[in-house]
């Protein structure tokens, strides 16, 4: 069987049966296309364990991150295991493929005073009434206030918001739905944006492109359609980059919110629920961030440090 045909069928399986996120499915499909090109093979039978190892070795020599190589390993192992189960190949070459150990890196976190100052400045700009400023302020307050992913905030519809209860219903990874809380500052920013900013942006929508006009979307782009994750990333990065240095996008707000919750005494499992993590182990990385901060404070303040 041709690799591209099998890879397309596998991508459909990941999306419909395993219900992985569209971003994960695209990444796995891209990995398999790269494998096919690297091995110069057209059929599944043309790829064995040696070809798989050579493919990963090429990625290592290019300097790809460990996380990228680990994902590629997972994509290849899952694909060939699935192909073997469905009788497309006689032997599974990926069963002996070993992924490199991932290095643990602490996420980039902004301090509460830095974020308070940034959000106060955005609030002052939004008070002038510019619809983009109103939207951007509401966007950052929502991201930080609820610790949601950028894809989740861009997917919000008006019916997902409950400003009275200060909650939002989001669709996370694996199409898992959860309800997240947010605070009073996010409520005020959202209310101002929905009343004074969003109608202006909505009026810019092209009637002939109704499928992109996003009638119910909370966050809109400059042309009235649903705001994309890339646009949201740019908004956040432009604000945080001067404060944190280097790349700092919406995930920095998510990391910061999780860390600040734990610093404030929040239960780890409650933070897991808010973040939508399937495993508690994923959430535990934020306890390391808090410990690092605690140690730094101790070193600065304690006379016997």
DSSP letters along 207-257, please? GGGHHHH-TTBSSB-TTSSBPPHHHHHHHHHHHHHHHH-S---HHHHHHHH
Exposed / middle / buried, residue 265 (Cβ in 10 Å: 0-12, 13-18, 19+):
exposed
CATH level 2 (architecture), domain 112-300? Orthogonal Bundle (1.10)
The tens place of each residue's pLDDT in the chain, 305 residues long, gives 888 899 999 999 999 999 888 888 999 999 999 998 888 777 888 899 888 988 998 888 888 888 889 899 999 999 999 999 999 999 999 998 987 665 556 567 888 999 999 999 999 999 999 999 999 999 999 999 998 999 999 999 999 999 999 999 998 877 788 999 999 999 999 999 999 999 999 998 877 665 444 679 999 999 899 999 999 999 999 999 888 876 678 888 988 988 888 888 888 888 888 888 877 777 777 776 666 665 665 577 656 55
What whole-number distance in Å separates Cα of residue 19 and Cα of residue 5? 20
Q: Which of 72, 135, 254, 260 is catalytic?
A: 254
pTM score of the predicted model: 0.66
What pLDDT does 242 receive? 85
Q: Which of 13, 108, 204, 251 is catalytic?
A: 251
Q: Which of 173, 196, 204, 293 is catalytic?
A: 173
Q: Which of 72, 137, 149, 255 is catalytic?
A: 149
Known active-site residue 176:
no
Length of the chain: 305
Q: Classify residue 205 by its DSSP letter.
A: S
Q: In the chain, which segments carry CATH 1.10.443.10? A: 112-300
Known active-site residue 255:
no
What pLDDT does 302 receive? 58
What whole-number distance in Å separates Cα of residue 80 and Cα of residue 10? 10
State the first-to-last Cα distance of the chain, in angstroms, to the nearest integer. Answer: 65
What pLDDT does 30 receive? 94
Positive or negative CA dihedral for 12, 18, 24, 29?
Answer: negative
Known active-site residue 10:
no
Q: Which of 10, 144, 193, 286 is catalytic?
A: 286
Known active-site residue 286:
yes
Known active-site residue 251:
yes
Known active-site residue 28:
no
Q: In the chain, which segments carry CATH 1.10.150.130? A: 3-96
Choose which CATH entry (1.10.150.130, 1.10.3720.10, 2.40.170.20, 3.40.50.620) describes domain 3-96: 1.10.150.130
């Amino acid at each position: 069987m041709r690799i591209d045909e099998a890879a397309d069928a596998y991508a459909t399986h990941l999306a419909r049966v395993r219900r992985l996120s569209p971003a994960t499915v695209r990444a796995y499909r891209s990995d398999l296309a790269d494998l096919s090109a690297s091995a110069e093979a057209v059929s599944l039978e043309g790829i064995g364990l040696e070809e798989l190892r050579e493919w990963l070795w090429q990625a290592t020599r290019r300097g790809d991150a460990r996380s990228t190589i680990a994902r590629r390993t997972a994509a290849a192992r899952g694909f060939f295991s699935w192909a073997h189960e469905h009788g497309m190949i006689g032997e599974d070459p990926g069963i002996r493929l070993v992924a490199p150990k991932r290095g643990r890196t602490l996420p980039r976190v902004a301090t509460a005073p830095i974020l308070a100052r940034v959000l106060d400045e955005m609030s002052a700009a939004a008070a002038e009434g510019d619809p983009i400023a109103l939207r951007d302020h509401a966007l950052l307050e929502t991201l930080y206030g609820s610790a949601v992913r950028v894809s989740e905030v861009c997917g919000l519809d008006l019916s997902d918001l409950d400003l009275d209860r200060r909650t939002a219903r989001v669709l996370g990874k694996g199409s898992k739905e959860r309800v997240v809380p947010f605070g009073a500052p996010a409520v005020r920013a959202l209310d101002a944006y929905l009343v004074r900013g969003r109608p202006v942006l909505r009026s810019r929508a092209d009637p002939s492109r109704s499928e992109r006009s996003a009638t119910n979307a909370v966050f809109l782009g400059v042309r009235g359609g649903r705001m994309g994750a890339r646009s949201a990333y740019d908004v956040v990065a432009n604000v945080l980059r001067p404060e944190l240095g280097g790349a700092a996008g919406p995930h920095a707000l998510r990391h910061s919110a999780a860390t600040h919750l734990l610093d404030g005494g929040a239960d780890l499992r409650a933070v897991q629920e808010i973040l939508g993590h399937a495993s508690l182990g994923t959430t535990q990385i934020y306890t390391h961030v808090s410990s690092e901060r605690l140690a730094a404070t101790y070193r600065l303040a304690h006379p016997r440090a």
